């Protein structure tokens, strides 16, 4: 398997003052010699005094002006921009709590991994595996042994030493206690500390996803001796520590004074992440200076910032977000493949993308463009009302006898998507009821209990095709062929081999239509002038904040 071991603008100069030194003209006139005869002694003395005074005044003015000009060129505190000790970032979704070992939700990973908690390896904004607590690693030819070489002199934010024992314990505990995402290391036999700086992972079967999974929750390292409330706080080895957390308001971070990695030390002392679920309120917060960065800005609201490039920067990039319209295939209404296929034909994806500002990417299957195994599958179900109607008629439904379905999704995504789907599907004989709920309710009813007919959510996670090969996941999708292909992809010992199996499996899933992928969400970030170091790609899932600065 492939592996990777691996300025602000100058302040503007102020205008220089070139005032010249001069004597008082009236005093000069009085200094003229009287006609005829030599000047008197007192007059000579007076002239001498006046000359000395003039010279002193001239020299003083000259040096005062020179000092002012030099200060202007260098940029003193009154004229130069200052680096702020606080940067505030606005994001859309808030985690329910901070317990990253138990609580689901991508917002937790987005905020805590790489900022507060660190893993044995990490990922960068290009979606590639990078060194983390381990500076290098080797994988055996049979794919069953991973040997990690750790950095030295590492510690947690409370000062406790971090070594190979902590790494091995954390990974073993993940599996033993069945923490969130423990299934990502199901091939693991054991993790063991070879010595203080070496960890060996032994697998029962090859797992081509293991290294990637270890960049997320599966690879996080915890201090087993630390005492803290994991729901309201967090204690890790990262560049920041948690000051406070309120899921209805904000997360406050401060620089970890004991951070071990000099290359990733926090450049800004205080980072505040505000949870702004209302898009207009978020935009107003940026315009009003309450936040300096907004990530996940609707493209329809960015024109005002694009037209003000002197004060704002707007960027859009591909990501792993997939807006998934899931069909509960265990529901009798949706067990009929013809109905599911009709829904896919009936959805006008171009119209939906255009209504959102036209920046999102068409996505015809379960793997996004930034992930292994991606293939363009948008041609499988092109928009066709006629085909959709024909399939619905075969299944026994018409405009006069519509199919009643309920779509449940979190109100954080707004009402427009629901309204569009209701309108589009009404044309093919589906009467769609929209059930808007709180995100916490969606997590409980849909994600945990699997109780729904149609569901809509943004799945931001990368490398998450395994969900389509897991019948117990809320999709309820159970296809043996897909499961076998995914197993082969995991057992592959080369990237090309794994990608080939993933492409086959993804195409089968898309053809079977257990969901529709409305679009690949492209993340738009808006930053105020003076912000530097904010990650421009994959900020929905990877949000390292250590390099962020703001010059006012």
CA 500/CA 88 separation, integer angstroms: 43
CA 3/CA 139 separation, integer angstroms: 9
Phi/psi of residue 273, nearest 5 degrees:
-110, 115
User: Token pair of 219, please?
Assistant: 């690879």
Contacts of residue 144, Cβ cutoff 8 Å, sequence gap at least 6? 202, 203, 204, 205, 206
pLDDT tens over the chain, length 552 residues: 444 343 223 323 223 333 322 223 332 332 333 333 444 444 444 444 444 445 444 544 444 444 444 433 333 444 457 999 999 999 988 999 999 999 988 899 999 999 999 999 999 887 889 999 999 999 999 999 999 999 999 999 999 999 999 999 999 999 999 999 999 999 999 999 999 999 999 999 999 999 999 999 999 999 999 999 999 999 999 999 999 999 999 999 999 999 999 999 999 999 999 999 999 999 999 999 999 999 989 899 999 999 999 999 999 988 888 999 999 999 999 999 999 999 999 999 999 999 999 999 999 999 999 999 999 999 999 999 999 999 999 999 998 999 999 999 999 888 999 999 999 999 999 999 999 999 999 999 999 999 999 999 999 888 899 999 999 999 999 999 999 999 999 999 888 999 999 999 999 999 999 999 999 999 899 999 999 999 978 888 889 999 999 998
Given a contact cutoff of 8 angstroms between Cβ atoms, the answer to whether 100 and 112 are in contact is yes
User: Token pair of 184, please?
Assistant: 């990502």
Given a contact cutoff of 8 angstroms between Cβ atoms, the answer to whether 296 and 92 are in contact is yes
Phi/psi of residue 288, nearest 5 degrees:
-85, -5
Spell 205-220 as b/e; 16+ CB within 10 A means b. Answer: ebbbbbbbbbbbbbbb
Closest CA to 172 of 186, 184, 190, 196: 190
Give the three-class secondary structure for 550. strand
Q: The whole model's pTM is what?
A: 0.72
The residue assigned the tokens 């003083």 is 60
Contacts of residue 34, Cβ cutoff 8 Å, sequence gap at least 6? none
User: Which domains does the chain possess?
Assistant: 117-219 (3.90.76.10), 240-317+524-551 (3.40.190.10), 322-520 (3.10.105.10)
Contacts of residue 171, Cβ cutoff 8 Å, sequence gap at least 6? 120, 185, 188, 191, 201, 218, 219
The residue assigned the tokens 């930053």 is 527
């Amino acid at each position: 398997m492939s592996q990777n071991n691996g300025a602000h603008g100058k302040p503007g100069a102020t205008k220089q003052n070139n005032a010249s030194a001069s004597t008082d003209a009236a005093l000069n006139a009085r200094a003229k010699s009287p006609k005829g005869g030599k000047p008197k002694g007192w007059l000579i003395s007076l002239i001498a005094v006046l000359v000395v005074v003039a010279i002193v005044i001239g020299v003083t003015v000259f040096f005062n002006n020179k000092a002012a000009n030099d200060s202007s060129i260098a940029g003193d505190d009154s004229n130069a921009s200052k680096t702020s000790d606080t940067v505030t970032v606005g994001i859309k979704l808030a985690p329910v709590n901070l317990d990253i070992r138990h609580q689901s939700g991508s917002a937790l990973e987005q905020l805590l991994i790489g900022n507060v908690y660190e893993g044995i390896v990490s990922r960068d904004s290009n979606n590639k595996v990078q060194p983390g607590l381990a500076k290098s690693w080797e994988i055996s030819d049979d794919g069953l042994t991973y040997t990690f070489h750790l950095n030295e002199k590492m510690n947690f934010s409370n000062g406790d030493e971090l070594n190979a024992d902590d790494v091995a314990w954390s990974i073993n505990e993940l599996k033993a206690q069945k923490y969130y995402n423990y299934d990502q290391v199901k091939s693991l036999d054991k993790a063991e500390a070879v010595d203080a700086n070496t960890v060996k992972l032994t697998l029962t079967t090859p797992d081509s996803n293991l290294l990637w999974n270890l960049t997320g929750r599966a690879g996080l390292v915890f201090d087993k001796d630390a005492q803290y409330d994991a729901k309201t706080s967090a204690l890790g080895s990262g560049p920041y520590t948690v000051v406070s957390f309120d899921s209805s308001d904000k997360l406050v971070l401060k620089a970890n004074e004991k951070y071990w990695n000099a290359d990733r030390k926090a450049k800004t002392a205080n980072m505040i992440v505000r949870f702004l679920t209302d898009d207009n309120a978020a935009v107003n917060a940026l315009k009003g200076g309450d936040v300096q960065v907004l990530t996940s800005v609707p493209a329809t609201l960015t024109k005002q910032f694009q037209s003000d490039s002197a004060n704002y920067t707007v960027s859009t990039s591909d990501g792993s977000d997939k807006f998934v319209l899931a069909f509960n295939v265990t529901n009798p209404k949706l067990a009929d493949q013809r109905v599911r296929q009709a829904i896919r034909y009936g959805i006008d994806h171009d119209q939906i993308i255009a209504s959102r500002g036209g920046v999102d990417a068409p996505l015809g299957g379960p793997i996004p463009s930034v992930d292994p195994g991606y293939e363009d599958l948008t041609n499988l179900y092109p928009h066709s009302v006629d085909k959709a109607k024909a399939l619905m008629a075969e299944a026994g439904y018409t405009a006069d006898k519509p199919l009643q379905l309920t779509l449940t999704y979190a109100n954080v995504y707004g009402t427009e998507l629901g309204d569009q789907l209701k309108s589009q599907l009404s044309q093919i004989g589906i009467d769609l009821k929209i059930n808007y709920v709180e995100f916490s309710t969606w997590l409980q009813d849909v994600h945990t209990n699997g109780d729904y007919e149609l569901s809509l959510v943004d799945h931001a996670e990368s490398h998450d095709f395994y969900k389509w090969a897991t019948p117990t996941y809320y999709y309820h999708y159970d296809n043996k062929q897909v499961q076998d292909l995914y197993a082969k992809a995991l057992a592959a010992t080369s990237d090309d081999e794994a990608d080939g199996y993933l492409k086959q499996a993804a195409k089968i899933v898309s053809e079977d239509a257990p969901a529709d992928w409305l679009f690949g969400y492209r993340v738009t970030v808006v930053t105020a002038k003076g912000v530097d170091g904010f990650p421009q790609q994959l900020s929905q899932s990877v949000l390292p904040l250590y390099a962020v600065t703001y010059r006012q």
